[in-house]
Copies of this chain bind each other. A is one copy, B any other.
Amino acid sequence: MDTVERSAGQSQRERILQVAARLFAERGYHAIGISELGDAVQLGRGALYHHIKSKEDLLYDISKEYIADLADFGERVARGEPDPAQRVRMLGKQLVLKIASHQAELTVCFREIQSLTEPRRSEVLALHGKYEKVWRDAMVDGADLGLFRPYDPIVLKGVLGMYFYSYLWMKPDGRLTPASIAERLNEMALRMLDIQGPVA
Contact = CB atoms under 8 A, between A and B. Distances in A.
Oligomer: number of copies: 2
A76 to B, nearest CB: 23
Contact of A200 (B25, B147, B157): B147
Nearest to A164: B165
A184 interface: yes
Contacts of A80: none
Interface in A137-186: 142, 147-148, 152, 154-155, 157-166, 168-169, 176, 181, 184-185
Contact of A164 (B26, B111, B161, B188): B161
B162 A28 contact: no
A85 B200 contact: yes
A200 B165 CA distance: 24
A122 B198 CA distance: 37
Contact of A176 (B154, B181, B194): B154
B191 A28 contact: no
A190 B194 contact: no
Given A27-B115, A157-B166, A188 B192 contact: yes
In which size bucket is the chain A interface?
Answer: 35 or more
B185 A195 contact: no
Interface string A100-138: 000000000001101100000000000000000000000
Nearest to A26: B114
B194 A187 contact: no
29 contacts: A26-B114, A27-B115, A28-B28, A28-B112, A28-B114, A30-B31, A85-B200, A111-B111, A142-B200, A155-B184, A155-B188, A157-B166, A157-B169, A158-B165, A158-B185, A161-B164, A161-B165, A161-B166, A161-B168, A162-B162, A162-B165, A165-B165, A187-B198, A191-B191, A191-B198, A193-B198, A194-B199, A195-B200, A196-B198
